[in-house]
């Protein structure tokens, strides 16, 4: 059967536009997601491309507008399902969140556990969580690959966040071995997909922090660990105003991923015009170093810089310009600067930078003990 999503229906060699009904407003009308389906030869894979789940992150929208074309559709072996705005209310209001859900919309996707019986003393899932659950079923039923586009720190480097792949080790020995082998195969594909994209690469946080921050319920966290497909989060520099060089480099990177997936022909294109950081060892993302005093920060490093443990990161001053605290904030570890916290006026506990720090954790891990009910 032809691939459809909402009112958009795939047809070979064409772009088809439509909408997907997300939810109903109490004041009347329907919240709709914009849908583009580009299809060439329908026998090929299906690749989902999404953006804008945080409504104030705009670069992905321009990347998708630049990438999706009639020429691309004619050349495709397979199908691209594109949603350029996963959070229309956030896009309209320039807000990270949607006004009908309190909290991060990118923590609402299924976690893979069996649904619990309704508890009358607990809040029901929000209307947005229910809607995203329904949309995720469409992803799980159709997607072979998924890229979700975001923005991050001030002036940040364009980079990939790579989720770790989790498997169940509470099964029989034979089933546990098979689950681990399946997770390892998926992890290999994700590594290949990262390298094909060609931008700076960061592994997601370690096990406890990953689940504490509900990253397993992000778009790509659920894509990897529930749908079991290669799925990557692309962070495209600072939000609000797209960087034209990053837009171009991301379009090139996605085309390279489509080539890797066997969906378009042509030689791999070099990534130009942006910093690509490779310290020579795998890294995971971390907000560090953190402040111990309220202060005004004067940054001493730039996004993309390699730093050693103990290197000066920022000078700390009071409002009159006098040194405070340790006077100079220093790096707690080797790594590289992803980007910097918005603004220069901060309270204790704030991280000054996003850093890629050395990652010695495996990229394939068992789920935490007790994650699945007995």
Residue 78: both structure tokens together: 């397979």
Give the 3-state secondary structure of residue 289.
coil
Contact by Cβ (8 Å): 8, 58: no
Q: What is the pLDDT of residue 318?
A: 98
Sign of the torsion angle spanned by Cα atoms 272, 231, 371, 282 = negative
Q: What's the length of the chain?
A: 374
pLDDT one-digit tens code per residue, 16-46: 999 999 999 999 999 999 999 999 999 999 9
pLDDT one-digit tens code per residue, 176-218: 999 999 999 999 999 999 999 999 999 999 888 999 999 999 9
pLDDT one-digit tens code per residue, 146-178: 999 999 988 999 999 999 999 999 999 999 999
Residue 214: both structure tokens together: 């509900």
103-112, 116-125, 138-147, 237-246: least confident range: 116-125
- Say what the pTM is: 0.96
Pairwise CA distance, residues 231 & 207, whole Å: 18
Residue 132: both structure tokens together: 């995203």
Q: What is the pLDDT of residue 206?
A: 83
Can you tell me the mean pLDDT for 259-265?
98
How high is the mean pLDDT of the chain? 96
Residue 358 belongs to what H/E stretch?
strand 353-358
What CATH fold (topology level) applies to the domain 4-276? Aminopeptidase (3.40.630)
pLDDT category, 119, cuts 50, 70, 90?
A: confident
Q: Is 88 exposed, middle or buried (0-12, 13-18, 19+ CB in 10 A)?
A: middle
pLDDT one-digit tens code per residue, 317-369: 999 999 999 999 999 999 999 999 989 999 999 999 999 999 999 999 999 99
Q: What is the pLDDT of residue 1?
A: 72
The second-level CATH assignment, the architecture, of 283-358 is Beta Barrel (2.40)
Per-domain boundaries in the chain: 4-276, 283-358
Q: In this structure, what are the phi and psi dihedrals at residue 71, rounded to the nearest 5 degrees?
A: -60, -40
If one counts every other C-beta atom within 10 angstroms of the C-beta of residue 125, the result is 15
């Amino acid at each position: 059967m032809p691939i459809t999503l909402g009112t958009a229906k795939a047809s070979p060699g064409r772009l088809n536009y439509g909408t997907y009904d997300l939810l109903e407003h109490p004041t009347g009308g329907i919240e709709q997601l914009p849908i583009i389906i580009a299809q060439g030869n329908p026998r090929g894979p299906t690749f989902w491309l999404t953006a804008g789940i945080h409504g104030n992150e705009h670069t992905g929208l321009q990347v998708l507008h630049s990438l999706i074309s009639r020429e691309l559709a004619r050349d495709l072996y397979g199908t691209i399902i594109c949603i350029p705005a996963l959070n229309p209310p956030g896009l309209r209001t320039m807000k990270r969140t949607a006004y009908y859900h309190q909290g991060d919309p990118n923590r609402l996707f299924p976690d893979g556990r069996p649904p619990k019986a309704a508890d009358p003393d607990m809040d029901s899932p929000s209307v947005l969580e229910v809607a995203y659950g329904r949309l995720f079923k469409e992803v799980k039923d159709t997607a072979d690959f998924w890229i979700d586009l975001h923005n991050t720190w001030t002036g940040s480097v364009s980079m990939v966040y790579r989720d770790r792949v989790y498997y169940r080790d509470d099964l029989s020995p034979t089933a546990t071995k098979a689950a681990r082998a399946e997770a390892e195969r998926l992890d290999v594909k994700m590594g290949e997909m990262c390298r094909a994209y060609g931008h700076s690469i960061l592994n997601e946080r370690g096990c406890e922090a990953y689940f504490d921050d509900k990253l397993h319920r992000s778009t790509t966290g659920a894509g990897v660990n529930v749908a079991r497909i290669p799925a990557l989060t692309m962070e495209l520099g600072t939000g609000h105003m797209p960087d034209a060089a990053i837009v171009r480099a991301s379009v090139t990177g996605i085309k390279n991923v489509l080539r890797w997936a066997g969906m378009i022909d042509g030689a791999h294109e070099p990534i130009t015009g942006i910093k690509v950081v490779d310290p020579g060892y795998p890294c995971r993302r971390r907000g560090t170093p953190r402040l111990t005093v309220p202060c005004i920060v004067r940054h001493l490093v730039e996004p993309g810089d390699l730093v050693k443990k103990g290197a000066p990161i920022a000078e700390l001053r009071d409002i009159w310009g006098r040194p405070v605290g340790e006077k100079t904030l220093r790096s707690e570890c080797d790594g590289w600067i992803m980007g910097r916290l918005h603004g220069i006026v901060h309270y204790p506990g704030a991280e000054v930078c996003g850093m890629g720090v050395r990652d010695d954790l495996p990229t394939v891990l068992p789920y935490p003990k007790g994650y699945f009910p007995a």
